[in-house]
């Protein structure tokens, strides 16, 4: 079996880590061990951030829909329940966009939700 000294491969791996930490503070961008620790930590936060971004956007959409529906005289939960009863299958992202960009369209949706709530039997 041939002898392997790993020189070029190891340098490639180290340069990959060091290039990932460009712009980091002090030794975190210069020394391999510190750079590797900083890189691993940064990658962990990046992974978490990709999950958090989805939650934060959903929160934002709900706040926007809630504000627009309160202007129409409905709470957020009443509005969403009314839309479900009316058979309107728009997701929160689209509803939030309509609430911000098309007030007349949102008013029509709110009227549909109110009509469906009024027609539904009281539980």
- Sketch out the chain's domains with CATH numbers: 57-118 (1.10.1900.20)
Tokens of 111: 């009227």
For residues 116 and 82, the answer to whether their CB atoms sit within 8 Å is yes
For residues 24 and 17, the answer to whether their CB atoms sit within 8 Å is no
CA atoms within 13 A on the CB side of 105: 11
Q: Which residues contact 76 (CB under 8 A, 6 or more apart)?
A: 62, 65, 66, 69, 70
Per-residue pLDDT of the chain (123 residues; tens, 9 = 90+): 888 888 899 999 999 999 999 999 999 999 999 999 999 999 999 999 999 999 999 999 999 999 999 999 999 999 999 999 999 999 999 999 999 999 999 999 999 999 999 998 876
């Amino acid at each position: 079996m041939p002898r392997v000294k790993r020189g070029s491969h190891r340098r490639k791996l180290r340069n990959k880590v060091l290039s990932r930490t460009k712009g980091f503070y002090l030794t975190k961008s210069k020394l391999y061990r510190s750079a590797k620790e900083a890189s691993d930590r940064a990658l962990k936060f990046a992974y978490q951030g990709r999950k958090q971004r989805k939650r934060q956007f959903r929160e934002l959409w709900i706040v926007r829909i809630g504000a627009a529906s309160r202007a129409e005289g409905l709470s957020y939960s009443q509005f969403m329940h009314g839309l479900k009863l009316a058979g309107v299958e728009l997701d929160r992202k689209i509803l939030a966009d309509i609430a911000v960009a098309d007030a007349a369209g949102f008013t029509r949706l709110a009227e549909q939700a109110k009509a469906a709530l009024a027609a539904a039997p009281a539980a």
